Chains A and B, each alone.
Chain A
């Protein structure tokens, strides 16, 4: 009988790590609180930089779950240390005694309504990146007619002391550019704005995407963080930002606004940290032993991390880390006890 390992969180990190652990001969017990596996990836349409369909990445993973025991609609009720093991109780009544737990709890999308001055949840024409992606995926008819002008607002809930999140969420800039291009593809007559502070095009092919956005799609990039959104009598939006490159405040009328909601620590992080007696980082994400050389191990024996649970990441980084975590767990379990 192979060893059980509890994997908390059934998004891409958890699924990938489970597959690697299974390949190494373990039995992952994958616990997911949502009704389905896949995490945020299940809700995305297409991925940067090349526009690969998200499901083309996720579906092969979901078809390869033999030997993995997974439980959806299930949460962790308690975790307790017993000698050199962890006793984990699930909300479905099952429990497991394991030597290793992998936390792949992922991130929560920043609740855009908290950024009150942007009017999400108050002005109908203000939506988030998640809303737009869901709409792209659904293929449904457009919600609003005649969208002549649309704006993408970078850094919503990121790099924002007032919102309680100092961190940059890493992927929103390239996602905004991706979505801006996709929107323009569908609606070539629309004027598309991106309101950014810095354009973080750090990955391979990202700068190409930016260049394409400018040259082929005519996306207008305004270097200025959006200060305020208000609604006109006909429901259209006014956006106030400064064009900092010109040093001029501007007020632009828009038909729609897309807020690039950032990545925040998953709500469960505090509770799970408490259960295993580790401190999350000051920013609320799980704290690995080293952000540089040991991103998958924690300060506690037998507790491991992978994916956005320890901070904003791209999908390829998450998948790599999932593999690294599986190897770290394997190494740990094969090390003789002292």
Chain B
């Protein structure tokens, strides 16, 4: 039992999610990520269960832990009351803390993802917000979405939203005091620290890859290798 496993075992997601796996495969049978990606939640839980630090570190550095879509279908089915989805979240958290995320293509996506989400939460108080939801980044939003963005004030008004306005209502302007409280929470509980870690490690990795940080971030957001996909599909 090594140091990495010990650290992982402190995570509440492991305490909740890893009782003992018998390798029956009901989780993998139902997992959407196992259908489309080269992913197998049973294998990952078995590796964590083995308490083999080297194998776990390899996981933390690999693309594999980033395939899960956190639908938690695995939790419904496991006969031992394990939660592979929660084990994955714990692995991801540790991968970020230790900086290993930057070693994999899917892990490097943390930079653009965290930027977008943390900024939305701290600046506006929402995880997703129309003013920062760019049609160019989301063509699947549809031609009606494009229209909605082009006429943003009129459309949201028509729908009865309260976009950027004071008082209760959809998409209201959340009071600055509340946003300040969120910042204080971020600073105290580690979200700010995570952002610092991710930015620092991403800078290092970008340098290593010979990219500017902007190039690195853009690549992380858009690039994907076919090697991730399940060949059966």
Tell me whether A244 and B81 are in contact (CB under 8 A): no
Tell me whether A250 and B29 are in contact (CB under 8 A): yes
Q: Which residue of B lies closest to A245 (CB)?
A: B25
Tell me whether B40 and A247 are in contact (CB under 8 A): yes
Tell me whether A197 and B24 are in contact (CB under 8 A): yes
Q: With a CB–CB cut-off of 8 A, which chain A residues contact B202?
A: none
Check A146 for interface membership: any CB of B closer than 8 A.
no
CB contact between A244 and one of B25, B76, B79 (< 8 Å): that residue: B25
Q: Which residue of B lies closest to A159 (CB)?
A: B79
Which A residues, 207 to 225, have Cβ-Cβ distances below 8 Å to chain B?
223-225
Tell me whether A240 and B22 are in contact (CB under 8 A): no
What total of chain B residues lie within 8 Å of the partner, measured CB to CB? 23
Output the least CB separation between B143 and chain A (Å).
33
**A146-189 contact mask (Cβ, 8 Å, vs B): 1 or 0:** 00000000010001111100000000000000000000000000
Check B199 for interface membership: any CB of A closer than 8 A.
no
A242-B26, A249-B34 in contact; A225/B79 too (CB < 8 A)? yes
Output the least CB separation between B41 and chain A (Å).
10
Task: For chain A, give the interface size range.
Answer: 20 to 34
Check A226 for interface membership: any CB of B closer than 8 A.
yes
> What are 24 inter-chain pairs, A to B, with CB distance below 8 A?
A159-B79, A160-B79, A161-B19, A161-B80, A224-B24, A224-B29, A225-B29, A227-B26, A227-B27, A227-B30, A228-B29, A228-B77, A240-B30, A241-B25, A242-B25, A242-B29, A242-B42, A243-B25, A247-B40, A247-B43, A249-B29, A249-B31, A249-B35, A250-B29
Tell me whether A225 and B232 are in contact (CB under 8 A): no
Q: With a CB–CB cut-off of 8 A, which chain B residues contact A197?
A: 22-24
CB contact between B232 and one of A159, A160, A163, A248 (< 8 Å): that residue: A248
Q: With a CB–CB cut-off of 8 A, which chain A residues contact B24?
A: 197, 224-225, 244
Tell me whether B43 and A227 are in contact (CB under 8 A): no
Which B residues, 92 to 119, have Cβ-Cβ distances below 8 Å to chain A?
none
Q: With a CB–CB cut-off of 8 A, which chain A residues contact B76?
A: 117
Check B28 for interface membership: any CB of A closer than 8 A.
yes
Closest 8 CB pairs of A and B: A242-B25, A227-B29, A225-B24, A227-B26, A242-B28, A224-B25, A244-B25, A242-B29
Output the least CB separation between B28 and chain A (Å).
4
Q: Which residue of A lies closest to B43 (CB)?
A: A247
Tell me whether B232 and A228 are in contact (CB under 8 A): no
Tell me whether A162 and B81 are in contact (CB under 8 A): yes
Tell me whether A244 and B35 are in contact (CB under 8 A): no
Tell me whether B79 and A226 are in contact (CB under 8 A): no
Q: Which residue of B lies closest to A222 (CB)?
A: B25
Tell me whether B43 and A226 are in contact (CB under 8 A): no
Question: A225 to B25, alpha carbons, bound, how many Å?
Answer: 6
Question: A241 to B35, alpha carbons, bound, how many Å?
Answer: 12
Question: A250 to B31, alpha carbons, bound, how many Å?
Answer: 11
Question: A155 to B26, alpha carbons, bound, how many Å?
Answer: 12
Output the least CB separation between A251 and chain B (Å).
8
Q: Which residue of B lies closest to A223 (CB)?
A: B25
**A100-132 contact mask (Cβ, 8 Å, vs B): 1 or 0:** 000000000000000001000000000000000
Question: A248 to B42, alpha carbons, bound, how many Å?
Answer: 11
Output the least CB separation between B172 and chain A (Å).
41
Q: With a CB–CB cut-off of 8 A, which chain A residues contact B232?
A: 248
Question: A224 to B35, alpha carbons, bound, how many Å?
Answer: 16
CB contact between B42 and one of A163, A228, A240, A244 (< 8 Å): that residue: A244
Q: Which residue of B lies closest to A247 (CB)?
A: B40
Which A residues, 75 to 109, have Cβ-Cβ distances below 8 Å to chain B?
none
Question: A242 to B21, alpha carbons, bound, how many Å?
Answer: 15
